[in-house]
Amino acid sequence: MAEKQDWEKLKERKGRLTVVLALATLISAFGSSFQYGYNVAVINSPAPFMQEFYNSTYEQRYGRSIEDNFLTLLWSLSVSMYPLGGFFGSLMVAPLVNKLGRKGTLLFNNIFSIVPAVMMGVSEIAKSYEIIIVARFIVGICAGLSSNVVPMYLGELSPKNLRGALGIVPQLFITIGILCAQVLGIRNILGNSTGWPIMLGLTGIPALIELMLLPFFPESPRYMLIQKGDEKTAKKALQRLRGWEDVDAELSEMHMEDQSEKAEGHLSVLSLLSQRSLRWQLVSIIIMNMGQQLSGVNAIYYYADSIYASAGVKENDIQYVTVGTGAVNVFMTIAAVFIVEASGRRLLLLCGFGICCGACVLLTVALNFQESVAWMPYISIACVIIYVIGHAIGPSPIPYVVTTEMFRQSARPAAFMVAGSVHWLSNFTVGLVFPFLESGLGPYSFIIFSIICLVTLIYIWLVVPETKNKTFLEICQMFAKRNKVEIKLGDGDLPLQGSKEKLGDDVKVTAF
């Protein structure tokens, strides 16, 4: 009966955004997620000057100009090493967060930012383009870890009524990082022949700030209680984060989650794949992360400059229009932070993928008639902006939030490992394949992206439930029928979906 009263108290009490929770969110997102976005865009603007450096370095070594094909290969490596590093970083998520904790992993991850920042900063002095390529791989590892660990950390710190809003903050800082790189990349600032090494090296500053400040904030209470068995530290952390002393109801919910998963232990990726009780959650995060990247967001950014040029935007002004597009992305992500708890995750995903699908179809039409109809280039620009708006409110931020919510403590690290690997491999695939699609299909390549958006939308409509304002246990129960597994705790008052194994005298397991 006491457990039921605690459960009811937990369902009724609404958490508030305390100073400790807000600062922990901002510091972890700025120190880690910001760098992900910054390094996505940092080499776009100074690309011509960096390639000149590659050529001059090659000439000094070998006494002749670099061949065009070899220069293209070196530059492709400079770009593609980043998502490849992100993939390897994702593979490190589960072992690191289980051993070091969420906060501990973020602090350790700063090594993969500070070291490559120094490497890229001195690359011109060292006369070595190889240093840049290796550094891009290392900083990609940093991005692969941060893109998975920060949402996990914030999801476990947050009360259920703020989990969606705080879960979008990492994506917000990714877009701010992209915007900052675009602004610094303006020719009159650092996007020139002398400023690009400084621009590349600045990625280490957020890492240093996080390294100095994050140790003063709590580790994930769920990690401390469920995985480390340290209830005293978990209780103190919860009291700091919630701003009140009575956290027994939330601790009780964690204990029930712990009890329901004791038979499972920490799930590896292989055991996660074999868990019948997690089958549809796993399929859902794979589909959403594939849809997020294969929907063409990076291709849209890649194509944007040529669209702006064809619309009559002067070459020197394109960089400012690009910055404006980045600002729209930031603004819409901020809007998503404020509306996600009111509208829910599912609606934002459906609207976002729907907008992206329509924008890709219209963009295909506009690009085909761009030469023959005078005003059509402006429609192309509008389609790019509409696409960015659609992606910013749903496909970009929400998959991270939902991945945190769909899995309980024992499965969450392995789930993020799978989601992150799919995310980065899809990112790498788009970067590798899109130039060939563009040369072979031209504007019709965006039809492929529209189909991917539509398929993802249909899947979400049919399978993914609304998870807002639900505890992790309640969300697991929502998948019970689809997974054909049901667990009831105690007298049947608190149904929990989970392991098919018998966990004790108070646990009734029904498979149907």
- Residuewise pLDDT in 10s, the chain (512 residues): 555 555 455 455 567 789 999 999 999 999 999 999 899 888 888 888 998 999 999 898 888 888 888 888 888 888 888 988 999 999 898 889 988 999 999 999 999 999 999 999 999 898 988 999 999 999 999 999 998 899 989 988 988 888 888 888 999 999 999 999 989 988 888 888 889 999 999 999 999 999 999 999 999 998 888 888 888 888 898 889 888 888 888 888 888 777 766 655 556 667 777 777 788 888 999 999 999 989 988 777 766 776 777 667 777 778 888 888 889 989 998 988 888 888 888 999 999 999 999 999 998 898 888 777 777 878 888 888 999 999 999 899 899 888 888 887 777 888 888 888 998 888 888 877 777 777 788 778 889 999 999 999 999 999 988 888 787 777 777 887 777 776 554 444 444 434 443 333 333 433 33
**Strand stretches in 339-421, DSSP E:** none
Nearest to 33 by CA among 137, 158, 178: 178
Q: Give the alpha-carbon dihedral of 138, 142, 147, 151, to 10 degrees.
A: 160
Q: For position 216, what pLDDT does the model report?
A: 94
Helix (H) or strand (E) segment spanning residue 485: strand 485-489
Which pLDDT score is estimated for 211? 94
Q: Which residues share a beta bridge with 250?
A: none
pLDDT for res 474: 78
Please check whether residue 260 is in contact with residue 499, taking contact to mean a CB–CB distance below 8 angstroms.
Answer: yes
Q: To which H or E segment does residue 37 belong?
A: helix 34-41
Measured in whole angstroms, how far is the alpha carbon of residue 331 from the centre of its chain? 17
Look at residue 371 in the predicted model and tell me its pLDDT: 74
Identify whether the C-beta of residue 449 lies closer than 8 Å to the C-beta of residue 295: yes
- What pLDDT score was predicted for residue 407? 82
In whole angstroms, how far apart are CA 151 and each of 148, 163, 451?
Answer: 6, 10, 28
Q: Are strands 507-511 and 485-489 parallel, antiparallel or unpaired?
A: antiparallel
Whole-structure pTM value: 0.84
- According to the model, what pLDDT value does residue 96 have? 92
**DSSP secondary structure string for all residues of 183-248:** HHTSTTTTSSTTTHHHHHHTTHHHHHHHHHHGGGSPPPHHIIIIIT--HHHHHHHHHHHHSSS--H
pLDDT for 494 equals: 45
